[in-house]
Amino acid sequence: MAKLKGKALFAASTLLAAIGFLLFGYDQGVMSGVVSNQRFKDTMGNPDSALMGAIVALYEIGCMAGALSTGRIGDWLGRRKTIRLGCVILIVGAVLQTAAVNSAMMIVARIVTGVGNGMNTATIPVYQAELSPPKSRGTHVAFEASLLAVGVAIAYWIEYGLFFVDGEVAWRFPLAFQMFFAIILCVASFVLPESPRWLQSHGYEEECKVVLARLWTDEDVSHPRCIAEWEEIRDGIELERREGVSSYKELFKKGRLNNRYRVLLGMGGQLIQQFGGINVISYYLTDVFIQAGMTTEMAMLMTGIDGIVYFLGACTPIYTIDRLGRRKLMYLGLIGQAATLLIVGGCQYLVENGNTNASPGVIAFVMIYNFVFGAAWLGLAWLYPSEIFTTGLRAKGNSMSTAANWLGNFVVAMIAPVLFEYAKYWTFLMFGILNVVFLIPIYLWYPETKGKSLEEIEVLFSSEEVQEDSRSLSHIGSVSAYDSKRDAESLAQRPHSSRMYSFGSRPGSRRMPSSFSVVHPKSEKPNPNSAAGQVKQEYTKGDDEVKGPNFK
């Protein structure tokens, strides 16, 4: 840490997050080839579809338990140490998976591995969001999500190569290879800084300033950019402390900070991702291609090619998520996923009725589906919860939303083999229809968050009383103002792609004000033409108009 600063330090922290998601992706993709390996089936006692589903899916229960544990552990140990602990647990689980001699041992090993992975997936997006500048936060989280697709592709290609190898190494080596990424991630956690927001909230004020100075300047704690962000973080935490919000119980209370709304949005987004059909594809992709009429060898080759397509799709949000915003990508992703899955279902129906000419249609549109998913919901479901919670509840809120992801993951992975056996082509049609249904909650309840600091978002979800209170803390919004108006150095440090456009002044949803700008304490009323004045007008309209996210 002492030798890293500026862009090098921020790039290293982003790479840490990305490696964590690469490991996550590898874990997601590795079982696709393992479950289709006959020697694996023999070792597991040739399980039926229900037991095979349990072997795959109980991993998600471990992930859910690990994610839930980070609500307290993440606030107690900090972000870095939580990631480190998750890696150690994951390595133990990977060793047990590699050595498994029957289905019972494999299930236990999968659950242990899941606990470690769940801790990482709940913590890493929080760590990345708390370090990233407001106007490129989406880009950086999208980058780490793109590495998830790389992990999936690595798993697919390793298993394709080992398809031609005799013996149990063909399925044991891919499971053992999880440890390689976990060790890298664990070592990296010793080099990189702690989250400045965690440091400030736990009384490490000077350490917080030092981390900000190393991230954005030449270790100058008096630099205006560092002062602006530290004051904003300090005021945001002070605002939370006035509300006395820090426990899990507070997550499910509306209150003046509207925490219940936040947690339902975070959990809902993760469930939308899971019930959009991705794990029907990821876990059982080889079997999907075999059902479409391919040989096992060709199915595994096409699975590897699909991994490349998935990665290409996952790269696109790096350039689009801070341009288009969160809501537009949510819409586009759901529409694209619905269309492709419905077409896959139709083609699969023809294949099942003897029309082999439809087989290429299944393959092509499964790949297009993965491209679309990578381009939208792959990263969105992880980015949105990391943005919307207050600092004191961010670890707990993100642990709940991540647990919802793993719960949905478990349900889908568990029922998929049974659906393939009995529902057949209706499996794809069902998930396609669900994507259409999910457009409704996005339209009704998910506001835009692009371009705002975490403290601004914290205030924007809150009640009018908290909005008024926050204006007495004059530094919330200062980083966004500083970045956009005064600091050319900060602008130069952001990725070039995020400097090629300007943000629109209005969000996609009127449930959230367009922006929140601080008012100097000596000003009794904000200028009606200012951003703060717009917020005031938004919240003081007549009863027949929208009053903000808290209005019921």
Question: What six digits make up the tokens of 257?
Answer: 């900070």
- Residue 475 is predicted with a pLDDT of 55
- Residue 529 is predicted with a pLDDT of 47
Amino acid occupying residue 71: G
| Residue 333 in domain | yes
| Residue 534 in domain | no
| Residue 519 in domain | no
- Residue 129 is predicted with a pLDDT of 83
Q: Which of 328, 322, 545 is nearest to 442 (CA)?
A: 328
Q: Which of 383, 371, 364 is nearest to 316 (CA)?
A: 371
Asked if residue 316 and residue 282 are part of one domain, the reply reads: yes
| Residues in the chain with pLDDT values less than 70 | 1-3, 243-247, 283, 467, 469-552
Instruction: List the CATH number of the domain containing 31.
Output: 1.20.1250.20
Report yes or no: 97 and 31 within 8 Å, Cβ to Cβ.
Answer: no
Alpha carbons within 13 A on the beta-carbon side of 134: 27
**Cα 14 to the center of its chain, rounded Å:** 14
Domain carrying residue 302: 6-193+244-461
Asked if residue 151 and residue 128 are part of one domain, the reply reads: yes
Instruction: Please enumerate, as own/partner, the contacts of 202-207 that have beta carbons within 8 Å and a separation of 24 or more.
Output: 202/78, 205/234
Domain count, the chain: 2
Asked if residue 79 and residue 214 are part of one domain, the reply reads: no
Asked if residue 156 and residue 121 are part of one domain, the reply reads: yes
275-306 pLDDT per residue, tens: 998 878 876 777 788 888 888 888 888 888 88
Question: What six digits make up the tokens of 417?
Answer: 């083999």
Asked if residue 317 and residue 205 are part of one domain, the reply reads: no
| Residue 477 in domain | no
Asked if residue 135 and residue 199 are part of one domain, the reply reads: no
Calculate the alpha carbon distances from 373 to 152, 339, 427, 543 in Å.
13, 12, 17, 40
Residues near 63 by beta carbon (within 8 Å), at least 6 away in sequence: 114, 115, 117, 118, 121, 406, 409
What phi and psi values does residue 543 have, to the nearest 5 degrees? -65, -20
- Residue 492 is predicted with a pLDDT of 52
Buried b (16+ CB within 10 A) or exposed e, 64-88: bbbbbbbbebbbebbbbbbbbbbbe
| Residue 531 in domain | no
| Residue 1 in domain | no
Question: What six digits make up the tokens of 486?
Answer: 């005064």
Amino acid occupying residue 285: L
CA separation for the pair 66, 27 (Å, rounded): 15
Ramachandran region, residue 451 (left: φ > 0; alpha: ψ -120 to 50; beta: rest): left
Q: Is 94 helix (H, G, I), strand (E, B) or coil?
A: helix
Report yes or no: 483 and 135 within 8 Å, Cβ to Cβ.
Answer: yes
Q: Which of 309, 412, 434 is nearest to 363 (CA)?
A: 309
Q: How many other CB atoms are there within 10 angstroms of residue 323's CB atom?
A: 18
Report yes or no: 333 and 374 within 8 Å, Cβ to Cβ.
Answer: no
Asked if residue 125 and residue 69 are part of one domain, the reply reads: yes
Q: Which of 394, 426, 461 is the last residue of a domain?
A: 461
Q: Which of 418, 444, 461 is the last residue of a domain?
A: 461
Asked if residue 331 and residue 270 are part of one domain, the reply reads: yes
CA separation for the pair 255, 261 (Å, rounded): 10
Q: Which of 243, 259, 282 is the last residue of a domain?
A: 243
Question: What six digits make up the tokens of 462?
Answer: 């809150």
In the numeric block, the tokens 């997006």 are attached to: 125
In the numeric block, the tokens 């696709």 are attached to: 32
Asked if residue 317 and residue 225 are part of one domain, the reply reads: no
CA separation for the pair 293, 313 (Å, rounded): 26
What phi and psi values does residue 473 have, to the nearest 5 degrees? -100, 100
- Residue 303 is predicted with a pLDDT of 83
Asked if residue 110 and residue 94 are part of one domain, the reply reads: yes
Burial of 422 (0-12, 13-18, 19+ CB in 10 A): exposed
Alpha carbons within 13 A on the beta-carbon side of 221: 8
- Residue 510 is predicted with a pLDDT of 37
Question: What six digits make up the tokens of 392?
Answer: 């004191």
For the chain, the distance separating the N- and C-terminal CA atoms, rounded to the nearest angstrom, is 48
Question: What six digits make up the tokens of 102?
Answer: 């029957």
Question: What six digits make up the tokens of 2?
Answer: 């002492």
- Residue 471 is predicted with a pLDDT of 65
Amino acid occupying residue 66: G
- Residue 501 is predicted with a pLDDT of 36
Residues near 91 by beta carbon (within 8 Å), at least 6 away in sequence: 116, 178, 179, 182, 183, 186
Residues near 422 by beta carbon (within 8 Å), at least 6 away in sequence: none
Residue 350, H or E segment: helix 326-352
Q: Which of 357, 369, 366, 231 is nearest to 285 (CA)?
A: 366
Q: Is 515 helix (H, G, I), strand (E, B) or coil?
A: coil
Asked if residue 324 and residue 187 are part of one domain, the reply reads: yes
Asked if residue 143 and residue 20 are part of one domain, the reply reads: yes
pTM of the model: 0.74
| Residue 472 in domain | no
Q: Which of 282, 283, 286, 281 is nearest to 297 (CA)?
A: 286
How many residues appear in the chain? 552
| Residue 527 in domain | no
476-525 pLDDT per residue, tens: 555 555 555 554 444 455 444 444 333 333 333 334 433 333 333 333 34
- Residue 72 is predicted with a pLDDT of 85
